[in-house]
Structure 1
Amino acid sequence: MSTSSPAATSAAGPPRQAGGTPTVLLNAQYLPTSRDWRTAAGRADSPFRVDTFLRAAQQAEAAGVDALFQADFSGVNRAGLRAGPPLTVFEPFQMAALIASATTRIAVMPTVSTMYTHPSAFARSLASLDRISAGRAWVNVVSSFRSGTALGVQRQVPRDRRHVQTEEFIQVARRLWASWPPEANRPDRATDRFVREDLITDVTHHGEFYDQTGPIDMAPYSPAFPFTLEATSSLEGLRLAARTADGVFAGTATLGAAKELRRILRREARAAGRPEDAVALLPGSYVHVVGTEDEATRLLRAQRAHAGAHGGRLALDEVRARYPVLHLDGLGPADRLPARVLPEDPDEVFATHGSRYLPLWDLARAGGRTVGEFAAEAVGLAEHARFVGTPEQIGDEMRRWYDEGGVDGFQLILGNDFDALCEGVVPRLRGSGTPAPHGAAHRRPATTGSSPRP
């Protein structure tokens, strides 16, 4: 396999710079899941209606969102279907093409599973989408969801080889993309050629997982391979992204955890021979918008009261079950939290336990807690950051995560009040809203799991 960095020729998203603009991805499911499906508004924004997603994309585009992201899940989650709208109703590439035809600026980002797709089929679908969108195609690459349930395809790759398989998949797809350069499409009257077929190069690849001969058969629109996002929670996955991706989607429930993960990502990008800012950290976020600061304060107090009520032994038992490697043996809720709950080095925490332990490291390093208080806060953590407040508060807090070097942007996964998200939160995050008064700490939203500022 080539040792060159294929992602070095990717079409990058908006560059990160000091005082710049965060990259904002919107999950396509935000709008239909932001309404209660039992209400008239929820029925109007049904996930089974294509115009629900077209309206969401147009509204997000007007707000300044960079890309509409569509996840994809294999198999049927029957319990999930009983509880609420399905996460996938439309095939992602078809939906992306439809959205591209109804918008002018926003990028469209479908998801592809490397486990159940051949790179040549993927490359031609992506090339077609890139041409339909006039260069606005991005892509989210995953190894698989719920292995063994995708349309009856029997393709099982051992877990310890999945990163290798994904890297070969991306390598073949990038070579196919480059096999038909844009200059081949410029008619040459002197030689009476509509397409310069002599400029289309063959791809010959015989690897561990794929055999490919011949070029792509569908001309891409863009010379560079589209912006590529990869999700990961492990060091090996982060290293794969550092070699092959332009963005990383990861869970970072606290700002301290995000800062450490972004630092490690930049280190791995340098180790892969790329600029340290070549790969953007774009973690997920849940957004709960309220109308007033008083309402946000009441919600924060209620969260703290709930955490306190469930502190004690119950929370400690749950934390031990959820995070078995924590050093909490022999301790009770009233004991002071020891310094060595986790290794003091965040690199060791991430390398050994993955990104989901970094927020616990962030909570533990703040100090001054009892074991019960730590357990109550740890139980309240979600995989992704949760922001609660007015649109201005949320936008300002998310912007703080960017300005303090924790993230390069966000993926807005789920939440409430889609209109307020687009009209208030996103403009504020991107810096086009009115900034909050300097030092107005009382206006900060309740960011579930964020450690106190020093």
Structure 2
Amino acid sequence: MTRELHLNLFISGRGHHETAWRHDGSARRALTDIAHYRDLALAAEAAKFDSVFFADQLALGDEVEHAARGDLEPITLLAALATLTERIGLIATASTTYSEPYNLARQFASLDHISGGRIGWNIVTSWVPAAAANFSLERQHEHAERYARAFEFVDVVSKLWDSWAADAIADDRESGRYADAGRVRKIGHRGEHFQVAGALNVPRSPQGRPVFVQAGSSTTGRGFAARYAEAVFTAHLQKESAIEFYSDLKTQTRALGRRADQIVVLPGISAAIGSTEAEAARVWEELNELSHPSVGLARLKSRFGGHDFSHLKLDQVLSVDDFPDPSLVQASQSRAQAITALVARERPTLRALLHGLAGARGHFTATGTPEQIAATIEDWFVSGAADGFNVMPPILPTQFAIFAEHVVPILRKRGLFRSEYADQTLRERYGLDPVASAFFDADETYRQRSA
């Protein structure tokens, strides 16, 4: 089977650059207007993208005066988009730290039914320190503690999604038999973090469960991804680090007895595209000219678990000594490591660093013509750095329109990307195996008993 490039549209406000909301090329609709997200999802569906994706944070943040914040809650948003789209996959972020397994399992099973099997769950442990105070906690749980809870959380929801056989519902009006109670099981989970009786009160969904998506790239995050993830959104500033991550994750996946093709690696790419290189470069210049230093400093502080950078001068050349040890950061360790590696490699000024992170927050940024962007995507794809990309346009909708209208046709001409959808479920589109059922071993006995 020919390897196929996967493309996902990461929808964030009016674009991934923090000043996109002020740019003339961005949407004018409110961030709470469903039409904004509907139009982007339909545009991605028309371009035959695999899916659209929504991140989430559970705290407002301190930069709301100069940054667009306050968009819709993603699980609710997916329910609406599921009725407005037909084929494109829909992925929402939900936290294992600030959710309960039973509620989350109900929500995502319902979404998978509503969408006809197009749902993915982006599993996060929530790195933003300020979230803890919104959930009756005095402090944020430490990195290792959050992941310990996450491992058990995924185990519990997996059991809940598997507590119904696919054929449990008979819906036989004549006999008065709605379901076969023997095909629905309590899970009886008792663990360190959760005690859940089950069964789930939503039947088995079209995919069996949502596609598992994960975004952490720390050592612990990689181990979690190798065990559970089926698609990984990862951030890399250089192709070399992306290749190392890709190879390591696939190796860890195989070591756990999984096939490497059962985990799709999708680095983020935020591309400024123009008819010439100069025109594309001007996109970043226009966006950076609109930036406010307080937004970048607030984001940097959050990435490093609350470390204060306000004493640094904007035009000061940075060194790694200006940053805390990223291995001790209790927020986003992988992103902190990427930022300090960039500082060690390039020695930027604080202003230059903030401008660089404003566009994609540690993801790869590209600048060029459609042909150049397509060539970069192909290079990463064939070099073992990616199975596809999490496309993060700096301005929405204009930069995505250029990507869809000019980059995607080039990828098709090169035989890398589909022209039509062939599969209905998101799981099928990613080339993933069906989800095994706990009832599978008993299926033959069941059929003989029911004959």
- Assess same fold via TM > 0.5: yes
Contact 1:33/1:85 (<8 A) preserved = no
RMSD of aligned Cα (Å) = 3.5
Residue segments in structure 1 that go unaligned for 5+ positions in a row: 1-16, 302-313, 327-352, 365-370, 437-454
Tell me what 1:121 maps to: 103
> What amino acid is the match of 2:412?
S
More displaced 10-residue stretch of structure 1: 37-46 or 262-271? 37-46
SS at match of 2:192: coil
SS at match of 2:319: helix
The answer to whether 1:28 aligns with 2:15 is no
Residue deviations 1:289-327, cap 9 Å, x none? 1122454589999xxxxxxxxxxxx9995133356789x
The answer to whether 1:400 aligns with 2:383 is no
Tell me what 1:375 maps to: 347
> What amino acid is the match of 1:123?
A
Inter-partner Cα distance in structure 2 for 1:112 and 1:65: 22
Identify which of 229, 241, 245 aligns with 1:245. 229
The answer to whether 1:198 aligns with 2:182 is yes
SS at match of 1:152: helix
> What amino acid is the match of 2:319?
V
Inter-partner Cα distance in structure 1 for 2:35 and 2:283: 34
Question: 1:161-172 counterparts in 2 under 5 A?
Answer: 161-172=145-156
Inter-partner Cα distance in structure 2 for 1:144 and 1:33: 19
Q: CA deviation at 1:279?
A: 1.8
Residue deviations 1:221-255, cap 9 Å, x none? 22532111111131111011111111222221111
Tell me what 1:432 maps to: 412
Inter-partner Cα distance in structure 2 for 1:252 and 1:238: 14
The answer to whether 1:97 aligns with 2:76 is no
Q: CA deviation at 1:119?
A: 0.5
Inter-partner Cα distance in structure 2 for 1:69 and 1:322: 34
Pair 200,229 (structure 1): closer, same or farther in 2 beyond 3 Å: same
Contact 2:52/2:88 (<8 A) preserved = yes
Tell me what 1:133 maps to: 115
Q: CA deviation at 1:432?
A: 1.4
Question: 1:74-89 counterparts in 2 under 5 A?
Answer: 74-79=58-63, 81-86=64-69, 88-89=70-71
Q: Identical aligned pairs, as a percentage?
A: 28
SS at match of 1:165: helix
The answer to whether 1:147 aligns with 2:126 is no
Residue deviations 1:344-367, cap 9 Å, x none? xxxxxxxxx957657998x99xxx
Residue deviations 1:259-312, cap 9 Å, x none? 1110110111122221123222212121111122454589999xxxxxxxxxxx
The answer to whether 1:227 aligns with 2:211 is yes
Contact 1:396/1:435 (<8 A) preserved = no
SS at match of 1:240: helix
Inter-partner Cα distance in structure 2 for 1:435 and 1:144: 38
Pair 96,228 (structure 1): closer, same or farther in 2 beyond 3 Å: same
Tell me what 1:14 maps to: none
Contact 2:124/2:216 (<8 A) preserved = no
Contact 1:57/1:103 (<8 A) preserved = yes
Tell me what 2:320 maps to: 320
Query: How many residues end up aligned between the 2 structures?
Result: 370
Residue deviations 1:3-50, cap 9 Å, x none? xxxxxxxxxxxxxx6x52222221122655679544676453432321
SS at match of 2:123: strand
The answer to whether 1:111 aligns with 2:83 is no
Inter-partner Cα distance in structure 2 for 1:131 and 1:282: 26
Residue deviations 1:47-87, cap 9 Å, x none? 232101000000011112111111111111231x222321x
Pair 250,179 (structure 1): closer, same or farther in 2 beyond 3 Å: same
Pair 147,411 (structure 1): closer, same or farther in 2 beyond 3 Å: same
Inter-partner Cα distance in structure 1 for 2:144 and 2:20: 41
Inter-partner Cα distance in structure 1 for 2:163 and 2:229: 20
Q: CA deviation at 1:128?
A: 0.6
> What amino acid is the match of 1:194?
Y
Inter-partner Cα distance in structure 2 for 1:76 and 1:270: 39
SS at match of 2:269: strand
> What amino acid is the match of 1:386?
T
Contact 2:15/2:394 (<8 A) preserved = no
Q: CA deviation at 1:214?
A: 2.1
Residue segments in structure 2 that go unaligned for 5+ positions in a row: 286-313, 327-332, 417-451
Contact 2:281/2:367 (<8 A) preserved = no
Q: CA deviation at 1:165?
A: 0.6
Contact 1:23/1:410 (<8 A) preserved = yes
> What amino acid is the match of 1:265?
L
Inter-partner Cα distance in structure 2 for 1:127 and 1:278: 21
Contact 2:59/2:134 (<8 A) preserved = no
> What amino acid is the match of 1:321?
D
Residue deviations 1:75-119, cap 9 Å, x none? 11231x222321x51111110011111111111111111111101
> What amino acid is the match of 1:399?
E
Tell me what 1:339 maps to: none
SS at match of 2:208: coil
Inter-partner Cα distance in structure 1 for 2:121 and 2:320: 37
Q: CA deviation at 1:145?
A: 3.9
Inter-partner Cα distance in structure 2 for 1:76 and 1:320: 29
Q: CA deviation at 1:399?
A: 2.0
Using the size of structure 1 for normalisation, the TM-score is 0.72
Inter-partner Cα distance in structure 1 for 2:324 and 2:136: 34
Pair 74,150 (structure 1): closer, same or farther in 2 beyond 3 Å: farther
Contact 1:233/1:356 (<8 A) preserved = no
> What amino acid is the match of 1:172?
V
